Chains A and B, each alone.
Chain A
């Protein structure tokens, strides 16, 4: 077992400010119940650190921007990170930060962290060094501060991630550590790094135990008498003599991500930058899990004034962020912002697994031409809306108005392999009127833009007598004054004449 622990020390701040562009460096601090919890580097340069009261912090740095801590957003971000970690290894366990706002009496609280079991994914990722490099690079891209540690059990990894010497070794290493190295590090670690409450640590120091090695030298029963069963249990897990189970993470088949803007945006063009970031996150997720999404739904959050949803339909599996952003841009251009936007969220319900069938079509059928037409349909849909596009198909029916059906343009483009229908072998007009139009009738003559002359007929269509509305009609082809050919019928029940189609 090879457990990697990634700690996120700045998560409270990052959950709130991740949406901003890099390089904006006004001093910011996250506060909770009148105390500073976290501050950004600009603020830290002015001595604003965790644990200060708001008044002191503001005295140090008058321009300080105060942000209220949002634990819900933090846990959402941690869930996202767990999902991200899931793409590297199937064994992932997120651990949210412990300790409440009143932590000064407890000392430092533990930041949120993520455990990844790596032994199974080393080979696929080209070794430990390459894997760690990729993890670091992607975390950096997401602008999440982190530090890592590797151990044989989750709690050992957690302990070692706090040890500077171990971190330095990890930055340079190429191979996983040997069991001997672990033991060395663990025994070398100062006992204040142990994951237990402050009182126990104070007791350890009071009895002169400054390093874990000293603690391990004492017989366990002695330690148990002083520090209790839980502490012994913890030591055993740390040593590797007892298994260390952690809850395993199971990713949902959907994508949710949200960016929060501390200062609301009032221009839809400004939304494009954060939208691009969300789309890139989505694409990475989709590609790794081999899923695709048919709809991106963007939620513009106006704070207390409600939300607005904008949907972008995608007709086929698409992993290219640029293209998804272009489609999103078309939609966002149409949106008029009613109020300044406070948060932008991207939801994808129902991610579907990629099917080999849909890929095969792409490779061996018409290829790029088909691709072009999908792109065109997506583009038209994004601007005109779903309902403006349609196709037509055949339907099996005697009734002329039921012999066709409007079809979704999406299902149309993919080749249907189902049963082929054949139309009736009789001349049919190329235009059908949505509603039959009544024809004037005088002295046994028909008038529609001049006198109509019946050329052919009748073709009797009689059916559906078992339904409440019987359809019995005699169809004729008629010619108008100026040479137009019409498809007209006489309703046999009412004896009225109607125009139903045009032979255009």
Chain B
């Protein structure tokens, strides 16, 4: 099945590549392509993204939120700096709308009380533990394509996924109109990636430092500091 799909995809790509010089497409048609960025229309562009729940971050992003139907890469080295709390508002909103959220191979147990506190509907949360790289990619692709899945969060395992696979996930996310969040170590920042958005996350004191590495249709290179929840970093008089 996969090889057949792959074949079809390649065929389409080669057809596109072959057709373009032969019969020039009308300009309007070309401009509607999502991968062509027109600076002049930047101001008029509708806010198509799904809000992150952080105003400062929304303002930085070209679509005023997480890009729809695309992969967003989050480069994180250390757990616990608030990387999940960056996604929890979005997960809460999507699950309340009745769409599914899928976690593929989460590193630890997603703790139900914390998720409920954040507003996530637990009955819409699915945790999948596929074995091996192939099943993992298959799961991600199928879930993204299905259209039932509002957001899929995957963690890069030991093997580094090939560029081709990342591209396929990106296409699957577009097909199913779902958000794909991919956690990767920051060492992969140097390698190119087809993701629509790449953020580098780092802990900075008691704040989360976000560095925008790349975004489609928008500027990159900005940095922003997001504060963590006040009740977490409140300092009590230590007993010991």
Contact = CB atoms under 8 A, between A and B. Distances in A.
B158 interface: no
A423 B240 contact: no
B128 A384 contact: yes
A44 B148 CA distance: 57
Nearest to B230: A427
B127 A413 contact: no
Contacts of B84: 430-431, 504
Interface in B137-173: 138-139, 142-143, 146-149
Q: Which of A373, A383, A486 has the most CB of B within 10 A?
A: A373
Interface in B162-213: 202-208
Interface in A445-463: 449, 454-458
Given A375-B148, A383-B135, A413-B123, A455 B235 contact: yes
A335 to B, nearest CB: 16
B45 interface: no
B21 interface: no
Nearest to A376: B146
B98 to A, nearest CB: 5
Contact of B112 (A388, A393, A449): A393
A380 B125 contact: no
Given A384-B139, A392-B122, A483-B81, A404 B100 contact: no
Given A430-B115, A434-B108, A393 B122 contact: yes
Interface in A109-156: none
Q: How large is the interface on B (under 10, 10 to 19, 20 to 34, 35 or more residues)?
A: 35 or more
B151 to A, nearest CB: 13
Contacts of B207: 483
A482 B203 contact: yes
A379 B147 CA distance: 14
Given A430-B110, A504-B84, A392 B115 contact: yes
A479 interface: yes
Nearest to A480: B80
B129 to A, nearest CB: 5
Interface string A163-200: 00000000000000000000000000000000000000
Contact of A376 (B83, B138, B149, B235): B149
A13 to B, nearest CB: 37
A429 interface: yes
Q: Is the interface of A mostly helix, strand, loop or mixed?
A: mixed
Contacts of B85: 430, 503-504
A171 to B, nearest CB: 46
Given A404-B113, A427-B231, A484-B81, A433 B139 contact: no
A63 interface: no
B127 A392 contact: yes
A480 B107 CA distance: 19
B79 A502 contact: yes
B238 interface: yes
Interface in A393-438: 393-395, 400, 403-405, 409, 412-416, 422-424, 427-434
B232 interface: yes
Given A373-B148, A379-B142, A434-B109, A504 B80 contact: yes
A180 B171 CA distance: 74
B148 A504 contact: no
Q: Which of B82, B113, B125, B232 has the most CB of A within 10 A?
A: B113
B95 to A, nearest CB: 11
Nearest to B84: A504
Given A431-B111, A482-B81, A388 B203 contact: no
A485 B115 CA distance: 17
A395 B124 CA distance: 17
A414 B108 CA distance: 26
B112 A392 contact: yes
Interface in B64-118: 78-85, 88, 98-100, 106-118
B49 to A, nearest CB: 21
A372 B239 CA distance: 53
B123 A389 contact: no
B130 A388 contact: yes
Contact of A404 (B111, B143, B235): B111
A403 B236 contact: no
B233 interface: yes
A181 B36 CA distance: 83
B122 A394 contact: yes
B131 interface: yes
6 contacts: A391-B125, A432-B108, A477-B232, A479-B233, A483-B81, A485-B80
The 9 A-B residue pairs with the shortest CB-CB distance, nearest first, are A483-B203, A484-B80, A423-B113, A372-B148, A404-B112, A431-B108, A373-B148, A504-B84, A432-B111
Interface of B: 78-85, 88, 98-100, 106-118, 122-131, 135, 138-139, 142-143, 146-149, 202-208, 228-229, 231-236, 238-240
